[in-house]
Structure 1
């Protein structure tokens, strides 16, 4: 009898342990189903809290830290405000590119510690800033703004003819007068447009300014084509004859040869065709 009682006790303990184990498994699976699928891994990213404009000092009150999907964090972001702002206030940083609220703060859009937001900071590698005089007509009636892209047209006199042609295409405007920020709400006619060009393009503009008048034409936002072909070829010069439909005067080519024969003090000329 004692042996039977011991066996019954062991069996009861085993059954109780098994019931407890399977109960835990059941409730764990139940909780997992209620929680649903796990979300993506997140990372901390510093973003703009308010609209930031070019040249504005970067301050802690203008920044915010949010969770961002780790797999899509842009290169050059910051994970803490302390990495952006000098706690002592001695080394300031400034905005190089305008940013909207919620936009990540990127290294390329701000200056380094203690650096000013000058024009040179905005130029791409190998580029130069070149300024052109503009007016209400050549400057697109005041609607030209930094960040726009333009074609540059040269109008010049060729003898008795006027001709114009596109000398540079898809050129970035980086400033109008001393303003390097867009202000579409109140367009104004500027006197100078500063464009971003390479060294050769700067030489072309310098020469073109000496031989004729330069005008700017505003390109569309999604336009990326340059010179085409055929009648619409942007690189093909357009003359006054083209506008009024007048045929160009044929050039007279002199194919004859004059032979001069000196006889004493007299000179006799004979023309051979």
Structure 2
């Protein structure tokens, strides 16, 4: 195991024959066990490490940026390779943690087509998501922003959660007139995620151009119009994949144990 993020990044890039997107780099670091972290934002941390090294160390930095979010080791064969389109290019560019305060972004995190039945619905439910499969889960229950309810992939309702947090607004839709009309939801959050996995407010520093670009990108992401080939520019956010509520995991384990016990009794 490497002693730092920087050394782990160097190891991953040294092993690659092509430039890599920072999300790929962080995934390889975690999956190969090159570095361990309890942080909730490994991709953002890798991006910040690369960006700050290039900015701070200049020519002395071992890294080189060869495309948007794509990096290689300087003077390596990979640095001469034309950058390929990174996987999951649909995902927007994440903000480096060091630069989050000065960003013009309004939306800082989002989740797409999360499943209603992976949440334990109560008056103050928890909604868990991960930046990557091996990263620390984050509870987005207190998130604020915009949400969309779907019947499978058909939009049935668009709402906002400002005065009441996201999870509470969604809980209300499980018992109101929409209760039987949706099974998935997407959300676009105004609160940023810290490395520790908590949510925080970020001072808005948004120009008219950035606001329009964000609204365009949000609509493209939510509605997926067939003639739009890519997301609008300058939508700085990161997608979180849904994680099942631990309470539901525990229920599944208990149900499995009961089923095994019943089979053993029946066999005896």
TM-score clears 0.5: no
Report the TM-score when normalising by structure 2. 0.22
The structure carrying a bigger helix percent of its residues is: 2
| Larger Cα-atom Rg | 1
Q: Which has the higher contact order (CA 8 A, sep 6+)?
A: 2
